[in-house]
Chain A
Amino acid sequence: MSATMAPTGDDLQQIAEQVWASYLDTDGEKPLIPLPPDKLSKDVVAGVAVRGAWHGLVLVACSATASKEAAAALLGMEADEVSEGDVDDALGELANVIGGNVKSLLPEPCTLGLPEVHNDAENDPWLAGDEICRFEATWMGEPMEVSVLEKPQGGETA
């Protein structure tokens, strides 16, 4: 990838903070804190594939607790009312919005796939690839991570 076209961790931070301010922290009481958590988590990983002039995945990974809190915030419900389908929908949409904004930083033309959500993805082959950049944060005391993985052209993104 051309160095001038590669997104950076700072780009991911800026995008993630905009998404949180718009949808998950509208009242400023649940900010995304740009401090690496003690331990990252891949309990829930949502991703969108980017295909075309660049090939890879934009991923949002977090703990099960954070995924339920995110779904609750987006859907206007309590975390203990959230179903697995709600988590898939909410985390998928977060990955979609972040992925679309990351795509605008990548070489053109590229297309964005539909979101996909994997549980317990620590050793998931889906996550094989070269990490281009990452942003680690803490949200409501839980680990949250946004990353961009490049895959070989013709490789599996989904």
Chain B
Amino acid sequence: MVIDDSRAMRLILRRIVTGLNFDVVEAGNGREAMDRLTELESVPELALIDWNMPEMNGLEFVTAVRADKKFRGMTLMMVTTESEHGQIVRALAAGAHEYVIKPFTPDAIVDKLVMLGLIPDGAHA
């Protein structure tokens, strides 16, 4: 699942992860993502989450997802322009597994997904 209020950024991330054989569901903010999660038949393996979004921001989404046992299997990766150490700590403390700072290259996303064990080493976007 790709969660970002920018259609351009969702498209960039979609291109990268579809190149890694993921099917993609998109949401424009955390609230929309929560709604999509309740509609989906299975829990997504991975969520790529922006921080600054209207309605429900990325940190609030991470907190909400982590409060529901149903979504325990979903890997949460923040993909955000919030680069201060304190913000990274907050996101990880709330339950995010990994953190990528914008601007990123496709290889940066691939490296994180390899590290998380979601794709094999040597995969290319």
Contact yes or no, A99 B81, CB < 8 A: yes
**How many interface residues does B have (CB within 8 Å)?**
21
Contact with B along A93-106 (1 / 0, CB 8 A): 10011011101100
Residues of A within 8 A of B18 (CB): none
Contact with A along B74-86 (1 / 0, CB 8 A): 0000001111101
Given A22-B104, A114-B52, A93 contacting B8 (CB threshold 8 A): yes
- Interfacial residues of chain A within 33-76, with CB under 8 A of chain B in the complex: 71, 74-76
The answer to whether B11 and A97 touch across the interface, beta carbons within 8 angstroms, is no
With both beta carbons as reference points, the residue of chain A lying nearest to B103 in the complex is identified as A22
User: In the complex, what distance in Å separates the CA atom of A103 from the CA atom of B85?
Assistant: 12
Majority SS at the chain B contact face = loop
* Contact in complex: A75, B5 (CB < 8 Å): no
* A108 at interface by CB-CB < 8 Å: yes
Considering the chains assembled together, what is the distance between the CA atoms of A97 and B102 in angstroms? 6
Contact of A114 among B54, B103, B104 (CB under 8 A): B54
Bound complex: CA A76 to CA B53 (Å): 23
Bound-state CA distance A13–B104 (Å) is 17
| A116: interface (CB < 8 Å) | no
- A109: which B residues are within 8 A, CB to CB? 86
- The answer to whether B12 touches A101, judged by C-beta atoms less than 8 angstroms apart, is no
Q: Which residues of A does B touch, CB under 8 Å?
A: 18-19, 21-23, 71, 74-76, 86, 89-90, 92-93, 96-97, 99-101, 103-104, 108-109, 112-114
